[in-house]
């Protein structure tokens, strides 16, 4: 993929953050186990530690061991030790009998169970051996990874620095969200939506001023955006008289790698490099901007954040109604996935500028370019928004 090749040529910077700030970041160095896990064989049930060969029958209860303690003796023939979940298994024992399957009478335990050696025991080192890699470089850190980092005692975590992503909306019609628009104006919704998408992809967004329909001012803002790691431009990439994004980029020595994709919404998408940084010229309509970032530009942010690979997941769900579209382009349309996550319903909308419909949706339905119609119950791909 072109984007992966461009990002792979860059040297990603790293930093160290406290464990509490590591969630959502990408690990910059492989993490190894500081000891065997578990360090000793561990019971995963409340019950009795036994010698499997002694059962079924009645055994003498020689003692007790609970989590956080070690039994000092050894289980001999005809004996057992009462044990709690998480406790180290006493020497001599090779199985656990659950307390539910036993009868206790004073210092004696009786069971009809015939346990297998190793039953309900996690052997020492079964989860990880001392020095083994438990987390590879390039994995995004979530709550399971935080738990593992805490388990191995890593309080300061090496991570890749978040890529700084400049966002520039274009057009005389675009005004600030705190302003009152006239009949021909729109508030700068795209920049704020893109900022959220950038954050979710692992980047650090910065919204720059709106570029008016003026080549010199557009060029100035493009140059300012190229001081960051990635530049996202929204609007001004079509072939109109006042579309100045590509001329501004060209004047700064841009290398255009592609300027169109066969999707709708979002055909006029520009990608390339300038001054050692990559840029995307996204279409100006909200749905076009959201779709092209999600399906294409997000990969650049994720890879720049240190992920080893960027994957766009497109699960297939069953339609609740018939659906058809004009073939020839892959289309992404607002849709609602039902609560059980197995059904999808296309939503009515008024085209790629219909922000209200986009807000009602929780996914984009993916209509394949080489097929025109689907029946209720057929499967179609979705991308969650």
Q: Which helix (H) or strand (E) holds 19?
A: none
The third-level CATH classification (topology) of the domain covering 2-34+129-158 is Molybdopterin biosynthesis moea protein, domain 2 (3.90.105)
* CATH number of the domain located at residue range(s) 42-122 in this protein: 2.170.190.11
Task: Give the C-alpha separation, 97 to 59, whole Å.
Answer: 12
- What's the whole-number average pLDDT of the chain? 95
Q: Assess whether pLDDT exceeds 60 at residue 172.
A: yes
pLDDT of residue 202: 96
User: What proportion of the chain, given as a percentage, has pLDDT over 90?
Assistant: 91
User: CA 111, 116, 119, 124 torsion: positive or negative?
Assistant: positive
Mean per-residue pLDDT, 241-247: 79
pLDDT of residue 337: 97
Burial 282-313 (b: 16+ CB within 10 A, else e): bbbbbbbbbbbbbbbbbbbbbbbbbbeebeee
Averaged pLDDT, 77-93: 98
Tell the CATH topology of 316-384: Beta-clip (2.40.340)
Q: Whole-angstrom Cα distance, residue 372 to residue 116?
A: 59
CATH architecture of the domain covering 164-304? 3-Layer(aba) Sandwich (3.40)
Rounded CA-CA distance 321/4 in Å is 38
Res. 242: pLDDT tops 70? no
Q: Which residues contact 165 (CB under 8 A, 6 or more apart)?
A: 198, 203, 204, 205, 206, 228, 229, 230, 231, 232, 301
Tens-place pLDDT, residues 335-347: 999 978 999 999 9
Write out pLDDT tens, residues 114-146. Answer: 999 999 999 999 999 999 999 999 999 999 999
Query: Which residue is it, tokens 């990002």?
Result: 7
Average the pLDDT over 186-205 and give the result.
97
How far apart are alpha carbons 66 and 269 in whole angstroms?
A: 63
pLDDT 10s digits, 322-368: 999 999 999 999 999 997 899 999 999 999 999 999 999 999 999 99
**Residue 97 parent element (H or E):** strand 95-98
Do the domains spanning 42-122 and 316-384 agree at the CATH topology level?
A: no
Q: Which tokens go with 35?
A: 């000891």
- Over range 193-218, report the average pLDDT: 96
């Amino acid at each position: 993929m072109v984007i992966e090749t461009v990002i792979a040529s860059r040297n990603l910077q790293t930093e160290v953050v406290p464990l509490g700030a590591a969630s959502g970041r990408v690990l910059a160095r492989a993490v190894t186990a500081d000891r065997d896990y578990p360090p000793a064989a561990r019971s995963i049930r409340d019950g009795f530690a036994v010698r499997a060969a002694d059962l079924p029958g009645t055994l003498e209860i020689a003692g007790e061991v609970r989590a956080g303690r070690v039994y000092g003796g050894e289980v001999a023939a005809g004996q057992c030790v009462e044990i709690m979940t998480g406790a180290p298994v006493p020497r001599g024992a090779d199985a656990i009998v659950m307390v539910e399957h036993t009868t206790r009478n004073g210092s004696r335990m009786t069971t009809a169970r015939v346990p297998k050696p190793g039953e309900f025991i996690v052997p020492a080192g079964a989860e990880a051996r001392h020095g083994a890699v438990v987390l590879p470089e390039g994995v995004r850190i979530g709550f399971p990874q935080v738990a593992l980092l805490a388990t191995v005692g890593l309080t300061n975590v090496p991570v890749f620095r978040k890529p700084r992503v400049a966002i520039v909306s274009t057009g005389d019609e675009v005004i600030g969200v705190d302003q009152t628009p006239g009949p021909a104006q729109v508030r700068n919704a795209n920049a704020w939506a893109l900022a959220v998408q950038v954050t979710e992809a692992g980047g650090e967004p910065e919204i720059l001023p709106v570029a008016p329909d003026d080549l010199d001012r557009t060029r100035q803002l493009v140059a300012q955006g190229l001081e960051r790691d990635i530049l996202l431009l929204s609007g001004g990439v079509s072939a109109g008289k006042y579309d100045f994004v590509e001329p501004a980029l060209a004047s700064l020595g841009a290398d255009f790698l592609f300027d169109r994709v066969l999707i709708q919404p979002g055909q006029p998408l520009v990608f390339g490099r300038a001054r050692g940084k990559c840029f995307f010229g996204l279409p100006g309509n909200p749905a076009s901007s959201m779709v092209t970032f999600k399906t294409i530009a997000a990969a650049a942010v994720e890879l720049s954040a240190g992920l080893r690979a960027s994957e766009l997941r497109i699960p297939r769900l069953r339609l609740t109604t018939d659906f058809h579209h004009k073939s020839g382009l892959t289309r992404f349309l607002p849709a609602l996935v039902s609560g059980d996550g197995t059904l999808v319903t296309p939503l009515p909308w008024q085209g790629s500028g219909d922000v209200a419909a986009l807000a009602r949706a929780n996914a984009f339905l993916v209509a394949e370019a080489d097929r025109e119609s689907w029946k209720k119950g057929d499967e179609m791909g979705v991308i969650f928004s």
